[in-house]
Protein backbone atom coordinates (compact mmCIF):
# COMPACT_ATOMS: atom_id res chain seq x y z
CA UNK A 1 0.00 0.00 0.00
CA UNK A 2 1.03 3.56 -0.43
CA UNK A 3 3.40 4.69 2.30
CA UNK A 4 5.94 7.38 2.84
CA UNK A 5 3.86 10.10 1.25
CA UNK A 6 5.56 12.79 3.34
CA UNK A 7 8.86 12.40 1.59
CA UNK A 8 10.05 15.31 -0.54
CA UNK A 9 10.94 14.39 -4.10
CA UNK A 10 13.74 16.31 -5.73
CA UNK A 11 12.67 17.36 -9.20
CA UNK A 12 15.61 17.02 -11.59
CA UNK A 13 15.83 19.24 -14.62
CA UNK A 14 16.48 16.30 -16.90
CA UNK A 15 16.46 12.50 -16.88
CA UNK A 16 18.49 10.96 -14.08
CA UNK A 17 21.57 9.25 -15.58
CA UNK A 18 21.30 6.38 -13.13
CA UNK A 19 17.68 5.71 -14.05
CA UNK A 20 18.51 5.99 -17.73
CA UNK A 21 21.29 3.46 -17.30
CA UNK A 22 18.99 1.09 -15.45
CA UNK A 23 16.40 1.30 -18.20
CA UNK A 24 19.12 0.72 -20.76
CA UNK A 25 20.34 -2.40 -18.99
CA UNK A 26 16.82 -3.79 -18.76
CA UNK A 27 16.22 -3.07 -22.43
CA UNK A 28 19.49 -4.70 -23.46
CA UNK A 29 18.66 -7.81 -21.48
CA UNK A 30 15.34 -8.02 -23.27
CA UNK A 31 16.40 -7.12 -26.80
CA UNK A 32 20.11 -7.70 -27.27
CA UNK A 33 21.58 -10.92 -28.64
CA UNK A 34 25.05 -12.13 -27.68
CA UNK A 35 26.61 -10.55 -30.77
CA UNK A 36 28.32 -7.24 -30.00
CA UNK A 37 27.01 -5.64 -33.18
CA UNK A 38 23.41 -6.31 -32.18
CA UNK A 39 24.00 -4.77 -28.74
CA UNK A 40 25.55 -1.68 -30.31
CA UNK A 41 22.54 -1.35 -32.59
CA UNK A 42 20.19 -1.51 -29.64
CA UNK A 43 22.13 1.23 -27.82
CA UNK A 44 22.00 3.44 -30.92
CA UNK A 45 18.26 2.86 -31.18
CA UNK A 46 17.83 3.65 -27.49
CA UNK A 47 19.64 6.97 -27.90
CA UNK A 48 17.52 7.87 -30.95
CA UNK A 49 14.29 7.08 -29.12
CA UNK A 50 15.41 9.08 -26.10
CA UNK A 51 16.22 12.18 -28.14
CA UNK A 52 12.95 12.19 -30.12
CA UNK A 53 10.50 12.10 -27.25
CA UNK A 54 7.84 14.77 -26.58
CA UNK A 55 8.41 17.73 -24.29
CA UNK A 56 6.17 17.15 -21.27
CA UNK A 57 6.89 20.46 -19.52
CA UNK A 58 3.79 22.28 -20.88
CA UNK A 59 1.67 19.79 -18.92
CA UNK A 60 2.70 21.50 -15.68
CA UNK A 61 -0.05 24.08 -16.12
CA UNK A 62 -1.79 23.31 -19.43
CA UNK A 63 -4.37 20.62 -20.13
CA UNK A 64 -3.92 18.71 -23.41
CA UNK A 65 -6.80 19.40 -25.86
CA UNK A 66 -6.68 15.78 -27.02
CA UNK A 67 -4.58 12.64 -26.63
CA UNK A 68 -3.11 10.01 -28.91
CA UNK A 69 -5.63 7.51 -27.57
CA UNK A 70 -8.60 9.80 -28.28
CA UNK A 71 -7.33 10.35 -31.83
CA UNK A 72 -6.99 6.59 -32.25
CA UNK A 73 -10.62 6.07 -31.22
CA UNK A 74 -11.70 8.81 -33.64
CA UNK A 75 -9.75 7.14 -36.46
CA UNK A 76 -11.38 3.78 -35.65
CA UNK A 77 -14.83 5.35 -35.87
CA UNK A 78 -14.06 7.07 -39.18
CA UNK A 79 -12.76 3.80 -40.63
CA UNK A 80 -16.17 2.28 -39.87
CA UNK A 81 -18.00 5.24 -41.38
CA UNK A 82 -19.23 6.30 -37.96
CA UNK A 83 -19.13 9.54 -36.06
CA UNK A 84 -16.87 9.30 -33.03
CA UNK A 85 -18.32 10.02 -29.62
CA UNK A 86 -16.40 12.29 -27.27
CA UNK A 87 -17.75 13.11 -23.83
CA UNK A 88 -15.24 14.86 -21.59
CA UNK A 89 -15.27 17.67 -19.04
CA UNK A 90 -12.05 18.74 -17.35
CA UNK A 91 -12.17 19.22 -13.60
CA UNK A 92 -9.48 20.33 -11.19
CA UNK A 93 -7.81 17.91 -8.82
CA UNK A 94 -9.68 19.33 -5.81
CA UNK A 95 -13.00 18.65 -7.57
CA UNK A 96 -12.42 14.90 -7.82
CA UNK A 97 -13.63 12.75 -4.96
CA UNK A 98 -10.89 11.53 -2.59
CA UNK A 99 -12.67 8.17 -2.66
CA UNK A 100 -12.11 7.92 -6.41
CA UNK A 101 -8.45 8.86 -6.04
CA UNK A 102 -7.94 6.15 -3.43
CA UNK A 103 -9.84 3.55 -5.43
CA UNK A 104 -7.96 4.22 -8.65
CA UNK A 105 -4.57 4.22 -6.93
CA UNK A 106 -5.37 0.88 -5.33
CA UNK A 107 -6.70 -0.68 -8.52
CA UNK A 108 -4.06 0.64 -10.91
CA UNK A 109 -0.89 1.55 -9.02
CA UNK A 110 -0.63 0.78 -5.31
CA UNK A 111 3.10 1.63 -5.43
CA UNK A 112 2.42 5.15 -6.71
CA UNK A 113 4.45 6.74 -3.90
CA UNK A 114 7.36 4.34 -4.18
CA UNK A 115 8.31 4.66 -7.86
CA UNK A 116 9.56 7.46 -10.12
CA UNK A 117 7.35 6.61 -13.08
CA UNK A 118 8.47 3.04 -13.70
CA UNK A 119 8.19 0.28 -11.11
CA UNK A 120 11.54 -1.32 -11.90
CA UNK A 121 10.95 -4.48 -9.86
CA UNK A 122 7.63 -5.11 -11.59
CA UNK A 123 9.18 -4.17 -14.92
CA UNK A 124 12.03 -6.63 -14.56
CA UNK A 125 9.61 -9.42 -13.66
CA UNK A 126 7.47 -8.56 -16.69
CA UNK A 127 10.44 -8.53 -19.05
CA UNK A 128 11.69 -11.88 -17.78
CA UNK A 129 8.31 -13.46 -18.40
CA UNK A 130 8.05 -11.84 -21.83
CA UNK A 131 11.54 -13.02 -22.76
CA UNK A 132 10.58 -16.61 -21.96
CA UNK A 133 7.42 -16.25 -24.07
CA UNK A 134 9.32 -14.60 -26.91
CA UNK A 135 7.09 -11.53 -27.08
CA UNK A 136 5.86 -8.58 -25.02
CA UNK A 137 2.60 -9.54 -23.35
CA UNK A 138 2.52 -8.71 -19.68
CA UNK A 139 1.37 -5.40 -18.26
CA UNK A 140 2.76 -4.08 -15.01
CA UNK A 141 2.31 -0.44 -16.02
CA UNK A 142 2.20 2.32 -13.44
CA UNK A 143 -0.33 5.14 -13.61
CA UNK A 144 2.44 7.36 -14.98
CA UNK A 145 3.19 4.85 -17.74
CA UNK A 146 -0.50 4.60 -18.58
CA UNK A 147 -0.67 8.39 -18.81
CA UNK A 148 2.39 8.47 -21.09
CA UNK A 149 0.84 5.90 -23.41
CA UNK A 150 -2.54 7.63 -23.38
CA UNK A 151 -1.14 11.08 -24.16
CA UNK A 152 1.49 10.28 -26.76
CA UNK A 153 1.60 6.67 -27.95
CA UNK A 154 -0.31 3.80 -29.49
CA UNK A 155 -1.64 0.79 -27.55
CA UNK A 156 0.62 -1.61 -29.48
CA UNK A 157 2.85 -3.96 -27.49
CA UNK A 158 6.00 -3.72 -29.60
CA UNK A 159 9.21 -3.24 -27.59
CA UNK A 160 10.12 0.15 -29.11
CA UNK A 161 6.74 1.62 -28.18
CA UNK A 162 7.17 0.23 -24.67
CA UNK A 163 10.63 1.75 -24.40
CA UNK A 164 9.25 5.18 -25.35
CA UNK A 165 6.56 4.75 -22.71
CA UNK A 166 9.14 4.04 -19.99
CA UNK A 167 11.23 7.10 -20.79
CA UNK A 168 8.23 9.44 -21.14
CA UNK A 169 6.99 8.18 -17.77
CA UNK A 170 10.33 9.08 -16.22
CA UNK A 171 10.16 12.54 -17.79
CA UNK A 172 6.63 13.06 -16.47
CA UNK A 173 7.77 12.24 -12.96
CA UNK A 174 10.80 14.52 -13.30
CA UNK A 175 8.74 17.50 -14.48
CA UNK A 176 5.35 17.12 -12.77
CA UNK A 177 4.15 16.73 -9.21
CA UNK A 178 2.45 13.50 -8.21
CA UNK A 179 -0.89 15.23 -7.79
CA UNK A 180 -0.68 16.72 -11.30
CA UNK A 181 0.09 13.31 -12.80
CA UNK A 182 -2.96 11.83 -11.09
CA UNK A 183 -5.09 14.83 -12.08
CA UNK A 184 -4.16 14.40 -15.76
CA UNK A 185 -4.74 10.67 -15.62
CA UNK A 186 -8.19 11.01 -14.06
CA UNK A 187 -9.21 13.53 -16.71
CA UNK A 188 -8.13 11.65 -19.85
CA UNK A 189 -8.58 7.91 -19.30
CA UNK A 190 -11.34 6.05 -21.12
CA UNK A 191 -14.35 5.07 -19.01
CA UNK A 192 -16.61 3.67 -21.70
CA UNK A 193 -17.26 4.22 -25.39
CA UNK A 194 -16.33 7.87 -25.98
CA UNK A 195 -16.40 8.68 -22.26
CA UNK A 196 -13.18 10.29 -21.02
CA UNK A 197 -12.30 11.36 -17.53
CA UNK A 198 -13.82 11.20 -14.08
CA UNK A 199 -16.38 13.99 -14.52
CA UNK A 200 -17.88 12.51 -17.70
CA UNK A 201 -17.93 9.04 -16.14
CA UNK A 202 -19.55 10.21 -12.89
CA UNK A 203 -22.29 12.09 -14.73
CA UNK A 204 -22.87 9.34 -17.30
CA UNK A 205 -23.12 6.42 -14.89
CA UNK A 206 -24.31 7.97 -11.62
CA UNK A 207 -25.71 11.43 -12.52
CA UNK A 208 -23.43 13.17 -10.01
CA UNK A 209 -20.25 15.21 -10.30
CA UNK A 210 -16.83 13.66 -9.81
CA UNK A 211 -16.59 15.57 -6.52
CA UNK A 212 -19.69 13.80 -5.16
CA UNK A 213 -18.71 10.20 -5.87
CA UNK A 214 -18.91 7.97 -2.81
CA UNK A 215 -16.86 4.86 -1.99
CA UNK A 216 -19.18 2.39 -3.75
CA UNK A 217 -19.37 4.35 -7.00
CA UNK A 218 -15.65 5.09 -6.89
CA UNK A 219 -14.78 1.42 -6.47
CA UNK A 220 -16.99 0.50 -9.43
CA UNK A 221 -15.33 3.12 -11.64
CA UNK A 222 -11.86 2.02 -10.57
CA UNK A 223 -12.70 -1.62 -11.17
CA UNK A 224 -13.93 -0.86 -14.68
CA UNK A 225 -10.66 0.73 -15.87
CA UNK A 226 -9.25 -2.68 -16.76
CA UNK A 227 -11.83 -3.03 -19.56
CA UNK A 228 -13.94 0.13 -19.77
CA UNK A 229 -15.83 -0.83 -22.92
CA UNK A 230 -17.14 -4.06 -21.45
CA UNK A 231 -17.50 -3.27 -17.74
CA UNK A 232 -20.38 -0.87 -17.12
CA UNK A 233 -20.36 0.76 -13.66
CA UNK A 234 -24.06 1.62 -13.93
CA UNK A 235 -24.98 -2.03 -14.55
CA UNK A 236 -22.16 -4.05 -13.00
CA UNK A 237 -21.89 -7.76 -13.68
CA UNK A 238 -20.40 -10.38 -11.38
CA UNK A 239 -16.82 -9.66 -12.40
CA UNK A 240 -17.06 -5.93 -11.76
CA UNK A 241 -18.90 -6.37 -8.45
CA UNK A 242 -16.15 -8.72 -7.29
CA UNK A 243 -13.51 -6.14 -8.17
CA UNK A 244 -15.54 -3.43 -6.45
CA UNK A 245 -15.68 -5.40 -3.19
CA UNK A 246 -11.93 -6.05 -3.21
CA UNK A 247 -11.23 -2.35 -3.79
CA UNK A 248 -13.66 -1.26 -1.09
CA UNK A 249 -12.01 -3.50 1.50
CA UNK A 250 -8.53 -2.11 0.81
CA UNK A 251 -8.88 1.47 -0.42
CA UNK A 252 -8.96 3.04 3.04
CA UNK A 253 -5.23 2.42 3.47
CA UNK A 254 -4.28 4.30 0.30
CA UNK A 255 -3.11 7.91 0.62
CA UNK A 256 -3.66 10.09 -2.47
CA UNK A 257 -1.65 13.26 -3.11
CA UNK A 258 -2.93 16.20 -1.09
CA UNK A 259 -5.23 18.79 -2.63
CA UNK A 260 -2.51 21.40 -2.25
CA UNK A 261 -0.22 20.28 -5.03
CA UNK A 262 2.56 22.58 -3.76
CA UNK A 263 3.01 20.19 -0.84
CA UNK A 264 4.28 17.37 -3.05
CA UNK A 265 7.10 17.86 -5.50
Give me the pLDDT at residue 81, please. Answer: 93
Going by C-alpha positions, the residue among 113, 114, 109 that lies closest to residue 147 is: 109
- The DSSP secondary-structure symbol of 138 reads -
Going by C-alpha positions, the residue among 188, 99, 176 that lies closest to residue 146 is: 188
User: CB–CB of 211/91 below 8 Å?
Assistant: yes
CATH number of 17-56+88-109+116-263: 1.10.3810.10
CA–CA separation, 134 vs 221, rounded Å?
34
Going by C-alpha positions, the residue among 60, 179, 64 that lies closest to residue 112 is: 179
The domain ranges of the chain are: 17-56+88-109+116-263
User: CB–CB of 117/149 below 8 Å?
Assistant: no
User: What does the pLDDT profile of the chain (265 residues) look like in tens digits?
Assistant: 444 444 444 444 444 555 556 655 665 565 555 555 666 666 766 676 677 789 999 999 999 999 999 999 999 999 999 999 999 999 999 999 999 999 999 999 988 988 887 766 665 565 555 444 444 333 468 999 999 999 999 887 788 888 899 899 999 999 999 999 999 999 999 999 999 999 999 999 999 999 999 999 999 999 999 999 999 999 999 999 999 999 999 998 888 888 654 444 4
Q: How many other CB atoms sit within 10 Å of the CB of residue 11?
A: 11
Rg (CA), the chain: 19
Amino acid sequence: MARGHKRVRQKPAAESPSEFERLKRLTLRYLARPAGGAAAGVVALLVYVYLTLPDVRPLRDSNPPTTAFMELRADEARAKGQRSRHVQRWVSYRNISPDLKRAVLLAEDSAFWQHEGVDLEQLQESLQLDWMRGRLLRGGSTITQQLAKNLYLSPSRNPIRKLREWIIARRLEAELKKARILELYLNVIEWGDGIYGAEAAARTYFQVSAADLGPEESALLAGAIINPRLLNPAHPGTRLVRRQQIILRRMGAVVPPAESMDEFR
